[in-house]
């Protein structure tokens, strides 16, 4: 989609601080980080929400989650031995959750005590 910010980042038309990439996924640092690690992981194909993605291509949703975990490993948020110190995945969906970019993305957040519940 030519008018989608994240599609334009995948094509390189808009620059991104890329931290991980596979054939079908793309991960880059958030421009307004909410934690020491704040990376967005997306499918290269355009799908608006996680629900629409899992309906259209469940395998691709799995690839996006696997890429998010790989980013967490790369950022030192988990190890091969266990889930320490840990990280959070967030998929905001719709206006009540504050979704502002309508290309599905997982926020990978970590590097501080994230607390629960979120504000
Ligand atoms: P949402 O609120 O839709 O869940 O998250 C969208 C995220 O995209 C926000 O955290 C916002 O900071 C990030 N974002 C918006 N525009 C850009 C941009 O041009 N570059 C990058 N790297 N992140 C962006
Ligand atoms: Zn898109």
The arithmetic mean of pLDDT across residues 60-85, rounded, is 96
pLDDT, averaged across the chain: 96
How far is it, in rounded angstroms, from Cα 29 to Cα 33?
Answer: 8
Cα-to-chain-centroid distance, residue 59: 16
How far is it, in rounded angstroms, from Cα 36 to Cα 18?
Answer: 16
Residue 101 pLDDT level (bands cut at 50, 70, 90): very high
Report whether residue 98 contacts ligand 1, using a CB cutoff of 6 Å: yes
The arithmetic mean of pLDDT across residues 18-34, rounded, is 98
Report whether residue 99 contacts ligand 1, using a CB cutoff of 6 Å: yes
- CA of 1 relative to ligand 2 center, distance in Å: 6
Question: Which atom, in ligand 1's list, is nearest to the CA of 5?
Answer: 19
**Residues 7-15: contacts with CB under 8 Å, at least 24 apart:** 7/46, 7/103, 10/42, 10/44
Question: Which atom, in ligand 1's list, is nearest to the CA of 101?
Answer: 3
pLDDT of residue 1: 72
The arithmetic mean of pLDDT across residues 75-96, rounded, is 96
Strand positions, DSSP E, the chain: 18-21, 25-29, 37-43, 87-90, 106-110
Residue 2 scores a pLDDT above 90:
no
Percentage with pLDDT > 90 across the chain: 96
The arithmetic mean of pLDDT across residues 80-92, rounded, is 95
Residue 4 scores a pLDDT above 90:
yes
Domains and CATH numbers, the chain: 5-110 (3.30.428.10)
Backbone φ and ψ of 26, nearest 5°: -150, 135
How far is it, in rounded angstroms, from Cα 43 to Cα 21?
Answer: 10
């Amino acid at each position: 989609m030519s008018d989608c910010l994240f599609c334009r980042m995948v094509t390189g038309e808009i620059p991104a601080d890329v931290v991980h990439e596979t054939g079908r996924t793309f991960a880059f640092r958030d421009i307004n980080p909410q934690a020491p690690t704040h990376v967005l992981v997306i499918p290269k194909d355009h799908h608006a929400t996680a629900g629409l993605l899992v309906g259209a291509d469940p395998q691709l949703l799995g690839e996006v989650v696997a890429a998010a975990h790989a980013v967490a490993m790369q950022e030192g948020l988990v190890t091969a031995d266990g889930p320490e110190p840990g990280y959070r995945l967030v998929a905001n969906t719709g206006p009540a959750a504050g979704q502002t970019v309508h290309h599905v993305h997982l926020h990978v957040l970590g590097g501080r005590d994230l607390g629960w519940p979120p504000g």
